Amino acid sequence: MFNEFGKIIKLTTYGESHGVALGGIIDGFPAGMPVDFDAVQRELDRRKPGQSKIVTQRKEDDKVEFLSGIFEGKTTGQSIGFIIRNTNQKSTDYEHNTRVFRPSHADFTYFHKYGIRDHRGGGRTSARETANWVVAGALSKQLLPLVSINAFVSSVGDIQVEKSLYDLDLTLTDSTIVRCPEKSTAEKMIEKIAEIKKDGDTIGGTITCIIKNVPVGLGEPVFDKLSARLAQAMMSINAAKGFEIGSGFEGTRLKGSEHNDIFIKGGKTLTNNSGGIQGGISNGMDIIFKIAFKPVATIMKEQTTIDENGDAAIIQGKGRHDPCVVPRAVPIVEALAALVLADFWLFNKVRRI
């Protein structure tokens, strides 16, 4: 109910940051798909901690073990169980936080909702959970071989990509540790993050995602609009505070005569303010959306706060945290997009007799 996503292909997950393992079950995945295990692990490696100097230094192998649903290299149509063991959970880093609440962190809300305080660390609120999503997303990508999904970091703090989307060479995204395909901007971002980290602080940013070769017809109005499902998925990522598709907030300033995407012979449109979705259904143009991520809440600076009794206290972060969430969120965004598309792609097969 709560820890599941999708309708025909449904991912259900479990696992805490400082527990013994993460994992999940992918139900409803069609039989007969050859699995590229290396491709799955590559996606996990893109997300894992400790990859570079600008991300958390926690070391995790993030090796996934598939437990069922795949036989002789192919999916069997049965539920796919998988597990990722935690190997580097240093809960001692966190013990000092036991009684106080980290500002803008989920400590406070989890404690009041569930009546439980997991003093080992972020527990279920940790971004470690997203490793599960990457596994499911990597399989979903393989189900849609013609579709290409490319996310990249479009801003860090005030530093933004300068070129327009179609002038960027997206094959360069992973060539920089910040995952920005514009080299000069990437350098500024890296410098900025390094500086922020040195200062014990964190910084926000945005990720833009473009999806090509999506067939016309994906999405199911009225409450399963493709745009609405993508929004739900992306807003599920830790630290996400905003989502926009196509012209987004900027498009609100335009007139219909400026904003409308004029059809040309064959069904393509001259412009793409719609971001590839009209009436909640893909129209065959590129799907383009952007997500806002706030700065990570855990900083290495002293902050005033309260404890479990509601009394004033002082907190100073320790442990190993990302100074900026966006570089590692790139494969997460792609994974969730793949999950959404694969699910709708299957639905679309049964929407006409």
- Characterize 183-209 residue by residue with b for buried, 16 or more Cβ atoms within 10 angstroms of its Cβ, and e for exposed: eebbebbbebbeebbeeeebbbbbbbb
- In the complex, least distance from residue 299 CB atom to its own copies, rounded to whole angstroms: 4
Residue 142 one-letter amino acid: Q
- In the complex, least distance from residue 53 CB atom to its own copies, rounded to whole angstroms: 18
Q: For residue 299, count CB atoms less than 10 angstroms from its CB and return exposed for 0-12, middle for 13-18, buried for 19 or more.
A: buried
287 vs 289: CA distance, rounded Å: 7
- In the complex, least distance from residue 319 CB atom to its own copies, rounded to whole angstroms: 14
- Whichever of 176 and 305 has its CB closer to its own copies, that residue is 305
Instruction: Enter the tokens of residue 245.
Output: 């598709």
- In the complex, least distance from residue 341 CB atom to its own copies, rounded to whole angstroms: 14
Four-residue CA torsion sign, 14, 38, 146, 243: positive
- In the complex, least distance from residue 171 CB atom to its own copies, rounded to whole angstroms: 25
Angle of helix 37-47 versus helix 326-348 axis, rounded to 10: 140
- The count of other CB atoms within 10 Å of the CB of residue 32 is 8
Contact of 316 with 300, CB cutoff 8 Å:
yes
- Whichever of 146 and 350 has its CB closer to its own copies, that residue is 350
CA-based nearest residue to 227, from 241, 214, 240, 244: 244
- In the complex, least distance from residue 86 CB atom to its own copies, rounded to whole angstroms: 10
Which helix (DSSP H) or strand (DSSP E) does residue 150 occupy? strand 148-156
Which helix (DSSP H) or strand (DSSP E) does residue 183 occupy? helix 183-198
- Whichever of 51 and 236 has its CB closer to its own copies, that residue is 236
Report how far apart, in Å, the C-alpha atoms of 193 and of each of 41, 109, 322 are: 27, 29, 10
- Whichever of 171 and 250 has its CB closer to its own copies, that residue is 250
- In the complex, least distance from residue 32 CB atom to its own copies, rounded to whole angstroms: 5
- Whichever of 175 and 192 has its CB closer to its own copies, that residue is 192
Instruction: Enter the tokens of residue 306.
Output: 């309260």
- Whichever of 171 and 253 has its CB closer to its own copies, that residue is 253
- In the complex, least distance from residue 338 CB atom to its own copies, rounded to whole angstroms: 15
- Whichever of 181 and 205 has its CB closer to its own copies, that residue is 205
- The count of other CB atoms within 10 Å of the CB of residue 154 is 22
- Whichever of 44 and 156 has its CB closer to its own copies, that residue is 156
Contact of 5 with 339, CB cutoff 8 Å:
yes
Instruction: Enter the tokens of residue 288.
Output: 């383009």
- In the complex, least distance from residue 54 CB atom to its own copies, rounded to whole angstroms: 15
- Whichever of 150 and 278 has its CB closer to its own copies, that residue is 278
Q: Residue 13: beta bridge partners?
A: 24
